[in-house]
Amino acid sequence: MTPHSPEQVQTLLAHALERFKKTELAAALGVDTRTIARWATGENAPKPFVGAALESLLTPSSVQFHENPDFTFIDAFAGIGGIRQGFEEHGGECVFTSEWNAFSKKTYTVNFGDGHEFIGDIVGQQGIVPAHDVLLGGFPCQPFSIAGVSKKNSLGRPHGFDDPTQGTLFFELKEIIKTTRPAAFVLENVKNLKSHDRGNTFAVIMSVLRDELGYDVYEKVIDGGHFTPQHRERIIIVGFARKTEFTWDDLILPEKTSHKLGDILHRTDGTEPVLPHDGDKYFNHAGTKVNDKFTLTENLWTYLQNYAAKHKAAGNGFGFGLVNSEGRTRTLSARYHKDGSEILVEQPGQRPRRLTPRECARLMGFDDSFVIPVSDTQAYRQFGNSVVVPVFKEVARIMKPHLMQVMAVLDAEQADLEAAGAHEDSATTAAAAAA
């Protein structure tokens, strides 16, 4: 890679400051805001890697362009684009995105660009959604997750469909499907969706999709642990606008034992790749070690041990999850930034540490080209809320043949309707002329 000249770095920095706040840019580059300010004024010169890092931040790296896409899709409740990646890999083109969280939108646009309409709140917006072949919708899971329901119950708040803000968002997807009639859809949520409210919530969803909207619908709980060393079960619901021979039996799911945590951890043997968009903010390449800030403080480690001991004595299963490079992890959650307790990495001779955001990205199946332009706290939240990317690559793979067949049927039906309309117009014109 040819080093950037000082002038080129300053130009890249100016462009970056047009897109990012100083705090966001500082977090992305692993420096403080005063350093960014000094670079911007020319008081100090950036380090050699900064030019490449800025270029990486400004260039979408995850989007896959298809000159003639096989199908189009929209990305609703997009998060940071995990579901999108799976369908782009199999020939799809995204034509519309919605995501209300500003930090997630930042990560999404840095990685995928903003070449189409991107809205925040999707509520009541079905009228502006463009025509598309597939609707992707990872609608909010908090109203249905075990942790989310437990928390809401403790606070006396409604959950599920009774949640006034998030619980009704499924019905927004329903209205979009009803209005746009895509050839297929893919919905994703937590496993607990099936058992929430003694199964009534799930029964309503399936009835809406099958009976009210008339789609051929299939559902399955898939554990992301088939693709990464993390136990992460999610329910996936796919539907087609016409009857198909789709079957989940076509899934190819690797053995869970084929993955271990060491596959995604930073390498301390000198082979850890140097990523321009990461620099040294997670890993000290000179010292070949993970940065010290990810090691738990003595106070936090003591607290977690005492907390676990208290609950063990009470017969509860609460506690931290300590793992090594040969093991597998619990489910990464959006609260990971608080104490990292569900996944703590052993460090012989010292206190355990959290995963770094880059390791979290790998645990979710994002490759190292994926840029993390936000603070550690926001990154942990984003990856904890995301999907395991390879799961959706596999779902897209087995869906595609049936999707293409349904699209062909719909095209033929539309052609027949247009032909019938043209014939009727011709007959009307002839009758008028005869009169």
Q: What residues act catalytically? A: 141
DSSP strand pairing (344-347 vs 350-353): antiparallel
- Number of helices and strands (H, E) in the chain? 14, 12
CB count, 10 Å around CB of 313? 8
Token pair in block for residue 49: 């890697």
Token pair in block for residue 20: 């990012």
CB 247 within 8 A of CB 310: no
CB 250 within 8 A of CB 229: no
Distant-in-sequence, close-in-space partners of 170: CB < 8 Å, separation ≥ 6: 139, 161, 187, 205, 208
Distant-in-sequence, close-in-space partners of 364: CB < 8 Å, separation ≥ 6: 82, 224, 228, 230, 332, 383, 386, 387, 388, 389
CA within 13 Å, CB half, 303: 9
* Displacement of CA 14 from its chain's centroid (Å): 29
Interatomic CA distance for residues 326 and 357, integer angstroms: 20
Token pair in block for residue 183: 């050839």
CB 246 within 8 A of CB 402: yes
CB count, 10 Å around CB of 338? 11
CA within 13 Å, CB half, 167: 19
DSSP strand pairing (289-290 vs 322-323): unpaired
Token pair in block for residue 216: 């051929």
E strand residue ranges, 56-191: 71-76, 92-98, 117-119, 134-137, 184-190
